[in-house]
Structure 1
Amino acid sequence: MKTAVALFAAGLALGTAGIAQAQDFEPKAAGVKMINLRVTSVDPEAGNPITTTGGAATGLRAEVNQDVMPTLGLTYFFTDNIAIEAIAGTTQHQVKAKGTGVNLDVHKTWVLPPVVSLQYHFAPAGKVSPYVGAGINYMIFYNGKDQNGFKLDIDDGFGLALQAGVDIATVGPWSANVDVKKVFFETDATDTKNGLKTKVELDPWVISAGVGYKF
Protein backbone atom coordinates (compact mmCIF):
# COMPACT_ATOMS: atom_id res chain seq x y z
CA MET A 1 0.00 0.00 0.00
CA LYS A 2 3.01 2.30 0.57
CA THR A 3 3.86 1.93 -3.12
CA ALA A 4 0.31 2.84 -4.10
CA VAL A 5 0.35 5.96 -1.92
CA ALA A 6 3.73 6.96 -3.40
CA LEU A 7 2.32 6.61 -6.93
CA PHE A 8 -0.67 8.75 -6.02
CA ALA A 9 1.54 11.47 -4.51
CA ALA A 10 3.94 11.42 -7.48
CA GLY A 11 1.12 11.85 -9.97
CA LEU A 12 -0.42 14.69 -7.99
CA ALA A 13 2.95 16.45 -7.73
CA LEU A 14 3.47 16.09 -11.48
CA GLY A 15 0.07 17.56 -12.18
CA THR A 16 0.57 20.47 -9.80
CA ALA A 17 3.86 21.34 -11.49
CA GLY A 18 2.09 21.15 -14.85
CA ILE A 19 -0.51 23.73 -13.79
CA ALA A 20 2.21 26.23 -12.99
CA GLN A 21 3.79 25.73 -16.41
CA ALA A 22 0.66 25.35 -18.53
CA GLN A 23 -0.03 27.89 -21.22
CA ASP A 24 -2.45 26.71 -23.90
CA PHE A 25 -4.17 23.41 -23.33
CA GLU A 26 -6.76 21.30 -25.07
CA PRO A 27 -9.96 20.85 -23.02
CA LYS A 28 -12.09 17.74 -22.85
CA ALA A 29 -14.94 17.82 -25.38
CA ALA A 30 -17.38 15.61 -27.29
CA GLY A 31 -15.56 13.44 -29.83
CA VAL A 32 -12.17 13.72 -28.11
CA LYS A 33 -10.19 10.55 -27.50
CA MET A 34 -7.58 10.27 -24.77
CA ILE A 35 -4.78 7.78 -24.17
CA ASN A 36 -3.44 7.43 -20.63
CA LEU A 37 -0.16 5.65 -19.94
CA ARG A 38 0.04 4.94 -16.22
CA VAL A 39 2.10 3.16 -13.60
CA THR A 40 -0.43 1.08 -11.68
CA SER A 41 -0.42 -0.65 -8.31
CA VAL A 42 -2.84 -3.59 -7.94
CA ASP A 43 -3.28 -4.46 -4.27
CA PRO A 44 -5.73 -7.33 -3.53
CA GLU A 45 -7.33 -7.59 -0.10
CA ALA A 46 -7.97 -11.39 0.10
CA GLY A 47 -7.34 -13.01 3.52
CA ASN A 48 -10.21 -15.52 3.25
CA PRO A 49 -10.14 -18.81 5.20
CA ILE A 50 -9.07 -22.02 3.45
CA THR A 51 -11.25 -25.06 4.08
CA THR A 52 -11.35 -28.67 2.94
CA THR A 53 -13.71 -29.48 0.07
CA GLY A 54 -16.04 -30.83 2.76
CA GLY A 55 -16.11 -27.45 4.49
CA ALA A 56 -13.87 -28.21 7.49
CA ALA A 57 -11.62 -25.41 8.77
CA THR A 58 -7.85 -25.71 8.22
CA GLY A 59 -6.73 -22.68 10.23
CA LEU A 60 -5.15 -21.24 7.09
CA ARG A 61 -6.08 -18.20 5.03
CA ALA A 62 -5.35 -17.22 1.43
CA GLU A 63 -3.17 -14.14 0.89
CA VAL A 64 -2.33 -12.47 -2.43
CA ASN A 65 0.52 -9.97 -2.84
CA GLN A 66 0.58 -6.54 -4.51
CA ASP A 67 2.18 -5.86 -7.89
CA VAL A 68 3.07 -2.71 -9.87
CA MET A 69 2.98 -2.65 -13.67
CA PRO A 70 2.37 -0.19 -16.56
CA THR A 71 -1.21 0.03 -17.87
CA LEU A 72 -2.84 1.65 -20.87
CA GLY A 73 -6.22 3.39 -20.88
CA LEU A 74 -8.30 4.62 -23.82
CA THR A 75 -11.15 7.11 -23.23
CA TYR A 76 -13.76 8.38 -25.67
CA PHE A 77 -15.98 11.39 -24.90
CA PHE A 78 -19.61 11.05 -26.03
CA THR A 79 -20.30 14.55 -24.68
CA ASP A 80 -18.14 17.13 -22.92
CA ASN A 81 -18.92 15.41 -19.60
CA ILE A 82 -19.70 11.78 -20.37
CA ALA A 83 -17.05 9.32 -21.52
CA ILE A 84 -16.25 5.63 -21.64
CA GLU A 85 -12.84 4.24 -20.70
CA ALA A 86 -11.25 0.83 -21.26
CA ILE A 87 -8.02 -0.08 -19.51
CA ALA A 88 -5.65 -2.96 -20.15
CA GLY A 89 -2.65 -4.24 -18.27
CA THR A 90 -1.42 -7.38 -16.60
CA THR A 91 0.09 -8.08 -13.19
CA GLN A 92 1.69 -11.09 -11.51
CA HIS A 93 0.63 -12.21 -8.05
CA GLN A 94 1.85 -14.72 -5.48
CA VAL A 95 -0.84 -16.74 -3.70
CA LYS A 96 0.14 -17.88 -0.21
CA ALA A 97 -1.40 -20.06 2.49
CA LYS A 98 -0.82 -18.43 5.87
CA GLY A 99 -1.61 -19.41 9.43
CA THR A 100 0.05 -19.89 12.81
CA GLY A 101 3.63 -20.85 11.96
CA VAL A 102 2.72 -21.37 8.29
CA ASN A 103 3.69 -19.19 5.33
CA LEU A 104 3.60 -21.33 2.18
CA ASP A 105 3.86 -20.30 -1.47
CA VAL A 106 0.94 -22.00 -3.21
CA HIS A 107 0.64 -20.57 -6.71
CA LYS A 108 2.06 -17.75 -8.82
CA THR A 109 -0.20 -16.42 -11.56
CA TRP A 110 -0.55 -13.64 -14.09
CA VAL A 111 -3.84 -11.74 -14.07
CA LEU A 112 -5.39 -9.77 -16.92
CA PRO A 113 -8.12 -7.58 -15.41
CA PRO A 114 -9.57 -5.34 -18.17
CA VAL A 115 -12.00 -2.71 -16.85
CA VAL A 116 -14.60 -0.80 -18.88
CA SER A 117 -16.22 2.13 -17.07
CA LEU A 118 -18.70 4.88 -17.84
CA GLN A 119 -17.41 8.21 -16.51
CA TYR A 120 -18.71 11.66 -15.64
CA HIS A 121 -16.11 14.42 -15.97
CA PHE A 122 -16.50 17.61 -13.96
CA ALA A 123 -15.18 20.92 -15.35
CA PRO A 124 -14.19 19.46 -18.76
CA ALA A 125 -12.99 22.88 -19.96
CA GLY A 126 -10.83 23.45 -16.87
CA LYS A 127 -7.18 22.72 -16.30
CA VAL A 128 -8.14 20.56 -13.33
CA SER A 129 -10.95 18.17 -14.27
CA PRO A 130 -11.91 15.46 -11.77
CA TYR A 131 -14.13 12.52 -12.73
CA VAL A 132 -16.00 9.57 -11.29
CA GLY A 133 -16.98 6.33 -12.96
CA ALA A 134 -18.48 2.87 -12.57
CA GLY A 135 -18.16 -0.23 -14.70
CA ILE A 136 -17.34 -3.90 -15.00
CA ASN A 137 -14.19 -5.97 -15.22
CA TYR A 138 -13.32 -9.53 -16.16
CA MET A 139 -10.49 -11.27 -14.31
CA ILE A 140 -8.48 -13.72 -16.42
CA PHE A 141 -5.85 -15.86 -14.66
CA TYR A 142 -3.16 -17.33 -16.93
CA ASN A 143 0.35 -18.84 -16.99
CA GLY A 144 -0.07 -20.08 -13.43
CA LYS A 145 2.72 -22.00 -11.70
CA ASP A 146 1.91 -24.37 -8.83
CA GLN A 147 4.33 -24.54 -5.88
CA ASN A 148 5.12 -26.79 -2.90
CA GLY A 149 2.90 -29.70 -3.91
CA PHE A 150 -0.27 -27.69 -4.54
CA LYS A 151 -2.37 -27.84 -7.71
CA LEU A 152 -4.53 -24.72 -7.72
CA ASP A 153 -7.37 -23.91 -10.08
CA ILE A 154 -8.62 -20.28 -9.95
CA ASP A 155 -11.89 -19.38 -11.68
CA ASP A 156 -12.07 -16.45 -14.10
CA GLY A 157 -15.09 -14.17 -13.77
CA PHE A 158 -16.80 -10.79 -13.80
CA GLY A 159 -16.57 -8.07 -11.17
CA LEU A 160 -17.74 -4.51 -10.59
CA ALA A 161 -15.56 -1.40 -10.40
CA LEU A 162 -15.89 2.10 -8.95
CA GLN A 163 -13.52 4.85 -10.07
CA ALA A 164 -12.41 8.37 -9.17
CA GLY A 165 -9.61 10.43 -10.65
CA VAL A 166 -8.41 13.77 -11.92
CA ASP A 167 -6.85 15.00 -15.16
CA ILE A 168 -4.59 18.04 -14.85
CA ALA A 169 -3.87 19.82 -18.14
CA THR A 170 -0.26 20.74 -18.84
CA VAL A 171 0.57 21.93 -22.39
CA GLY A 172 -1.42 21.35 -25.58
CA PRO A 173 -3.04 17.89 -25.62
CA TRP A 174 -0.96 16.61 -22.68
CA SER A 175 -2.16 16.10 -19.12
CA ALA A 176 -1.19 14.42 -15.87
CA ASN A 177 -3.54 11.83 -14.45
CA VAL A 178 -4.17 10.25 -11.06
CA ASP A 179 -6.74 7.45 -10.96
CA VAL A 180 -8.13 5.19 -8.20
CA LYS A 181 -10.35 2.17 -8.78
CA LYS A 182 -11.92 -0.23 -6.33
CA VAL A 183 -12.72 -3.54 -8.00
CA PHE A 184 -15.15 -5.94 -6.33
CA PHE A 185 -14.34 -9.48 -7.42
CA GLU A 186 -14.84 -12.86 -5.79
CA THR A 187 -13.49 -16.14 -7.13
CA ASP A 188 -13.24 -19.80 -6.16
CA ALA A 189 -9.76 -21.28 -5.78
CA THR A 190 -9.58 -25.07 -5.50
CA ASP A 191 -6.55 -27.21 -4.71
CA THR A 192 -7.53 -30.32 -6.67
CA LYS A 193 -4.57 -32.33 -5.39
CA ASN A 194 -5.02 -31.81 -1.63
CA GLY A 195 -8.78 -31.36 -1.39
CA LEU A 196 -8.71 -27.72 -0.28
CA LYS A 197 -10.74 -24.74 -1.42
CA THR A 198 -11.38 -21.10 -0.63
CA LYS A 199 -13.74 -18.42 -1.83
CA VAL A 200 -11.36 -15.50 -2.32
CA GLU A 201 -12.65 -11.92 -2.19
CA LEU A 202 -9.78 -10.25 -4.04
CA ASP A 203 -11.43 -6.78 -4.11
CA PRO A 204 -8.21 -5.02 -5.23
CA TRP A 205 -7.40 -1.33 -4.99
CA VAL A 206 -6.06 -0.23 -8.38
CA ILE A 207 -4.13 3.03 -7.95
CA SER A 208 -2.45 4.72 -10.91
CA ALA A 209 -0.49 7.80 -11.90
CA GLY A 210 0.61 8.77 -15.38
CA VAL A 211 0.28 11.01 -18.41
CA GLY A 212 -2.52 11.48 -20.93
CA TYR A 213 -2.69 12.61 -24.55
CA LYS A 214 -5.85 13.87 -26.32
CA PHE A 215 -6.41 13.44 -30.04
Structure 2
Amino acid sequence: MRKTLFTASVLAMALTAPFAQAHQAGDVIVRAGAVTVDPREDSSDIYVGALSTSVPGTKATLDSDTQLGLNFAYMLTDKVGIELLAATPFSHDVGVAGMPGGFSGLNGKLGELKHLPPTLSVVYYPLDSKSAFQPYVGAGINYTWFFDDKLTSEAENKGFSGLNMKDSWGLAAQIGMDYMLTDNMMVNAQVRYIDIDTTGTTSYGGAKVKVDVDVDPMVYMVGLGYKF
Protein backbone atom coordinates (compact mmCIF):
# COMPACT_ATOMS: atom_id res chain seq x y z
CA MET A 1 0.00 0.00 0.00
CA ARG A 2 2.82 2.41 0.91
CA LYS A 3 4.63 1.54 -2.31
CA THR A 4 1.46 2.27 -4.32
CA LEU A 5 0.97 5.63 -2.61
CA PHE A 6 4.62 6.56 -3.15
CA THR A 7 4.46 5.64 -6.84
CA ALA A 8 1.27 7.65 -7.25
CA SER A 9 2.89 10.66 -5.58
CA VAL A 10 5.97 10.51 -7.85
CA LEU A 11 3.78 10.22 -10.96
CA ALA A 12 1.68 13.15 -9.80
CA MET A 13 4.78 15.30 -9.35
CA ALA A 14 6.13 14.30 -12.76
CA LEU A 15 2.82 15.16 -14.43
CA THR A 16 2.41 18.51 -12.73
CA ALA A 17 6.04 19.66 -13.00
CA PRO A 18 5.97 20.59 -16.73
CA PHE A 19 3.12 23.01 -16.02
CA ALA A 20 4.75 24.59 -12.96
CA GLN A 21 5.45 28.30 -13.29
CA ALA A 22 9.16 29.05 -13.08
CA HIS A 23 10.84 32.22 -11.84
CA GLN A 24 9.42 35.73 -12.16
CA ALA A 25 10.58 39.22 -11.21
CA GLY A 26 10.31 39.74 -7.46
CA ASP A 27 10.63 36.04 -6.52
CA VAL A 28 12.78 35.13 -3.54
CA ILE A 29 14.40 31.69 -3.81
CA VAL A 30 15.95 29.78 -0.92
CA ARG A 31 17.93 26.59 -1.62
CA ALA A 32 19.64 24.15 0.72
CA GLY A 33 21.68 21.02 0.11
CA ALA A 34 25.08 19.36 0.19
CA VAL A 35 27.95 21.49 -1.14
CA THR A 36 31.46 20.18 -1.75
CA VAL A 37 34.58 22.34 -2.06
CA ASP A 38 37.18 20.40 -4.07
CA PRO A 39 40.49 22.35 -4.16
CA ARG A 40 42.55 22.15 -7.35
CA GLU A 41 45.53 23.64 -5.54
CA ASP A 42 48.71 24.72 -7.28
CA SER A 43 51.33 26.08 -4.93
CA SER A 44 54.68 27.76 -5.25
CA ASP A 45 57.79 26.04 -3.95
CA ILE A 46 57.85 26.28 -0.16
CA TYR A 47 60.21 28.93 1.21
CA VAL A 48 62.12 27.59 4.20
CA GLY A 49 63.78 30.32 6.23
CA ALA A 50 66.22 27.89 7.85
CA LEU A 51 67.62 27.31 4.36
CA SER A 52 67.12 30.92 3.17
CA THR A 53 65.62 29.61 -0.07
CA SER A 54 62.58 28.02 -1.68
CA VAL A 55 62.94 24.27 -2.02
CA PRO A 56 62.31 23.05 -5.61
CA GLY A 57 59.62 20.42 -6.00
CA THR A 58 57.90 21.13 -2.70
CA LYS A 59 54.24 22.07 -2.44
CA ALA A 60 51.32 22.58 -0.08
CA THR A 61 48.28 20.30 -0.29
CA LEU A 62 44.60 20.64 0.70
CA ASP A 63 41.85 18.04 0.84
CA SER A 64 38.15 18.45 -0.03
CA ASP A 65 35.18 18.85 2.32
CA THR A 66 31.37 18.71 2.16
CA GLN A 67 29.06 20.89 4.23
CA LEU A 68 25.51 22.27 4.28
CA GLY A 69 25.16 24.78 1.47
CA LEU A 70 22.65 27.63 1.33
CA ASN A 71 21.57 29.80 -1.60
CA PHE A 72 19.54 32.97 -1.39
CA ALA A 73 18.39 34.55 -4.66
CA TYR A 74 16.24 37.50 -5.67
CA MET A 75 14.90 37.78 -9.21
CA LEU A 76 15.33 41.30 -10.60
CA THR A 77 13.50 40.30 -13.80
CA ASP A 78 12.06 37.02 -15.12
CA LYS A 79 15.56 36.14 -16.42
CA VAL A 80 18.08 37.97 -14.21
CA GLY A 81 18.67 37.52 -10.50
CA ILE A 82 21.16 38.16 -7.72
CA GLU A 83 22.34 35.14 -5.74
CA LEU A 84 24.33 34.68 -2.52
CA LEU A 85 26.11 31.40 -1.79
CA ALA A 86 26.65 30.62 1.90
CA ALA A 87 27.52 27.49 3.86
CA THR A 88 28.51 26.10 7.20
CA PRO A 89 32.32 26.33 7.69
CA PHE A 90 34.49 24.08 5.55
CA SER A 91 37.39 22.24 7.16
CA HIS A 92 40.52 21.18 5.28
CA ASP A 93 43.72 19.32 6.12
CA VAL A 94 46.87 21.21 5.12
CA GLY A 95 49.88 19.16 4.09
CA VAL A 96 53.48 19.44 2.95
CA ALA A 97 54.89 17.33 0.11
CA GLY A 98 58.19 17.05 -1.73
CA MET A 99 60.64 17.89 1.06
CA PRO A 100 63.93 16.11 0.20
CA GLY A 101 66.71 14.44 2.14
CA GLY A 102 67.06 15.39 5.77
CA PHE A 103 63.84 17.42 5.61
CA SER A 104 61.67 14.53 4.31
CA GLY A 105 60.30 14.02 7.82
CA LEU A 106 58.43 17.31 7.42
CA ASN A 107 56.25 15.84 4.68
CA GLY A 108 52.68 14.89 5.55
CA LYS A 109 49.84 16.57 7.39
CA LEU A 110 50.85 19.97 8.75
CA GLY A 111 47.61 21.28 10.22
CA GLU A 112 43.97 22.13 9.71
CA LEU A 113 42.04 25.22 8.70
CA LYS A 114 38.45 26.36 8.36
CA HIS A 115 37.04 28.81 5.88
CA LEU A 116 33.83 30.46 4.72
CA PRO A 117 33.55 31.43 1.03
CA PRO A 118 30.50 33.73 0.62
CA THR A 119 29.96 34.41 -3.09
CA LEU A 120 27.68 37.04 -4.62
CA SER A 121 26.69 36.47 -8.25
CA VAL A 122 24.47 37.75 -11.02
CA VAL A 123 22.61 34.85 -12.64
CA TYR A 124 20.87 34.63 -16.01
CA TYR A 125 18.08 32.22 -17.00
CA PRO A 126 17.83 32.00 -20.84
CA LEU A 127 14.63 29.96 -21.17
CA ASP A 128 11.03 31.11 -21.08
CA SER A 129 9.77 31.59 -17.54
CA LYS A 130 6.97 29.06 -18.15
CA SER A 131 9.50 26.24 -18.63
CA ALA A 132 9.78 23.85 -15.66
CA PHE A 133 13.43 23.22 -16.55
CA GLN A 134 15.52 26.34 -15.89
CA PRO A 135 19.25 26.17 -16.65
CA TYR A 136 21.27 29.25 -15.77
CA VAL A 137 24.74 30.76 -15.80
CA GLY A 138 26.25 33.19 -13.35
CA ALA A 139 29.33 35.24 -12.51
CA GLY A 140 30.31 37.18 -9.44
CA ILE A 141 32.80 37.87 -6.68
CA ASN A 142 34.00 35.74 -3.78
CA TYR A 143 35.50 36.56 -0.41
CA THR A 144 37.12 33.66 1.42
CA TRP A 145 37.73 34.05 5.14
CA PHE A 146 40.24 31.63 6.65
CA PHE A 147 40.06 31.06 10.40
CA ASP A 148 40.85 28.57 13.16
CA ASP A 149 44.19 27.74 11.49
CA LYS A 150 46.11 25.32 13.69
CA LEU A 151 49.01 22.90 13.54
CA THR A 152 48.77 19.24 14.43
CA SER A 153 50.54 18.13 17.58
CA GLU A 154 52.84 16.03 15.37
CA ALA A 155 53.87 19.12 13.40
CA GLU A 156 54.55 21.03 16.61
CA ASN A 157 56.70 18.16 17.85
CA LYS A 158 58.71 18.39 14.62
CA GLY A 159 59.51 22.04 15.35
CA PHE A 160 56.73 23.96 13.56
CA SER A 161 55.08 26.89 15.32
CA GLY A 162 51.92 28.82 14.35
CA LEU A 163 49.87 28.66 11.14
CA ASN A 164 48.22 31.52 9.29
CA MET A 165 46.33 31.66 5.99
CA LYS A 166 45.66 34.97 4.25
CA ASP A 167 42.05 35.85 3.30
CA SER A 168 41.22 36.06 -0.40
CA TRP A 169 39.14 38.07 -2.88
CA GLY A 170 38.47 36.54 -6.30
CA LEU A 171 36.08 36.03 -9.18
CA ALA A 172 33.60 33.17 -9.49
CA ALA A 173 31.62 31.57 -12.33
CA GLN A 174 28.86 28.99 -12.29
CA ILE A 175 26.40 26.93 -14.27
CA GLY A 176 23.31 25.40 -12.73
CA MET A 177 19.76 24.25 -13.17
CA ASP A 178 16.42 24.37 -11.38
CA TYR A 179 13.65 21.88 -12.12
CA MET A 180 10.27 22.94 -10.82
CA LEU A 181 8.45 20.16 -8.98
CA THR A 182 5.55 22.45 -8.08
CA ASP A 183 4.89 26.18 -8.46
CA ASN A 184 7.11 26.75 -5.43
CA MET A 185 9.41 23.76 -4.92
CA MET A 186 12.37 22.82 -7.10
CA VAL A 187 15.38 20.52 -7.41
CA ASN A 188 18.66 22.36 -7.92
CA ALA A 189 22.15 21.38 -9.08
CA GLN A 190 25.10 23.70 -9.66
CA VAL A 191 28.82 23.74 -10.39
CA ARG A 192 31.10 26.68 -9.63
CA TYR A 193 34.69 27.68 -10.17
CA ILE A 194 36.07 30.08 -7.55
CA ASP A 195 39.38 31.92 -7.80
CA ILE A 196 40.93 31.66 -4.32
CA ASP A 197 44.55 32.71 -3.79
CA THR A 198 46.15 32.62 -0.37
CA THR A 199 49.51 32.70 1.35
CA GLY A 200 50.27 30.29 4.17
CA THR A 201 52.91 31.05 6.78
CA THR A 202 54.34 29.13 9.71
CA SER A 203 57.75 28.86 11.31
CA TYR A 204 60.18 25.99 11.59
CA GLY A 205 63.03 26.07 14.08
CA GLY A 206 62.27 29.75 14.66
CA ALA A 207 62.61 30.65 10.95
CA LYS A 208 59.78 31.61 8.62
CA VAL A 209 58.17 29.07 6.26
CA LYS A 210 55.96 30.50 3.50
CA VAL A 211 54.04 29.25 0.48
CA ASP A 212 51.66 30.86 -2.05
CA VAL A 213 48.70 28.68 -2.97
CA ASP A 214 46.20 28.98 -5.81
CA VAL A 215 43.36 26.99 -4.23
CA ASP A 216 40.94 27.52 -7.16
CA PRO A 217 38.33 24.93 -6.13
CA MET A 218 35.49 23.43 -8.06
CA VAL A 219 32.35 23.72 -5.94
CA TYR A 220 29.47 21.27 -6.41
CA MET A 221 26.00 21.57 -4.87
CA VAL A 222 22.82 19.51 -5.08
CA GLY A 223 19.71 20.35 -3.11
CA LEU A 224 16.12 21.47 -2.90
CA GLY A 225 14.76 24.99 -3.24
CA TYR A 226 11.61 26.90 -2.38
CA LYS A 227 10.31 30.03 -4.11
CA PHE A 228 8.45 32.70 -2.17
Q: TM-score, normalised by structure 1?
A: 0.86
Contact 1:167–1:177 (CA under 8 A) maintained in structure 2: yes
Letter in 2 for 1:129: Q
**1:68 and 2:101 equivalent?**
no
Contact 1:166–1:177 (CA under 8 A) maintained in structure 2: yes
Work out which of the two has the higher radius of gyration on C-alpha atoms and give 1 or 2. Answer: 2
Identity across the alignment (%): 30
**1:38 and 2:28 equivalent?**
no
Alignment partners' CA distance in 2, 1:179 and 1:18: 26
Partner of 2:14: 20
Question: Which stretch shows the higher mean deviation, 149-158 or 79-88?
Answer: 149-158
Alignment partners' CA distance in 2, 1:108 and 1:21: 48
Letter in 2 for 1:112: L
**1:119 and 2:123 equivalent?**
yes
Query: Of residues 163, 188, 207 in structure 2, which corresponds to 1:177?
Result: 188
The Cα of 1:58 is off from its aligned counterpart by 5.3
Partner of 2:48: 52
The size of the alignment, in residue pairs, is 200
Alignment partners' CA distance in 1, 2:149 and 2:184: 40
Structure 1 residue ranges without an equivalent (≥5) = 1-16
The Cα of 1:66 is off from its aligned counterpart by 0.3
Alignment partners' CA distance in 2, 1:120 and 1:128: 14
Change in 2 beyond 3 A, CA 1:93/1:122: same
Alignment map for 1:97-116 (pairs within 5 Å): 97-99=96-98, 103-116=107-120
Residues 12-66 of structure 1, C-alpha deviation per residue, up to 9 Å, x if partnerless? xxxxx99734345231000001001021110011141322254421542101000
Corresponding residue SS for 1:20: helix
Corresponding residue SS for 1:198: strand
Partner of 1:152: 163
Change in 2 beyond 3 A, CA 1:135/1:214: same
**1:203 and 2:216 equivalent?**
yes
Corresponding residue SS for 1:22: helix
Corresponding residue SS for 1:36: strand
Letter in 2 for 1:81: K
Alignment partners' CA distance in 2, 1:76 and 1:125: 18
Q: Superposition RMSD on alpha carbons, in Å? A: 2.1
Change in 2 beyond 3 A, CA 1:68/1:21: farther
Change in 2 beyond 3 A, CA 1:19/1:192: farther
Corresponding residue SS for 2:186: strand
Partner of 1:96: 95
Contact 1:29–1:79 (CA under 8 A) maintained in structure 2: yes
Letter in 2 for 1:120: Y
Corresponding residue SS for 1:195: strand
Partner of 1:192: 203
Corresponding residue SS for 2:14: helix
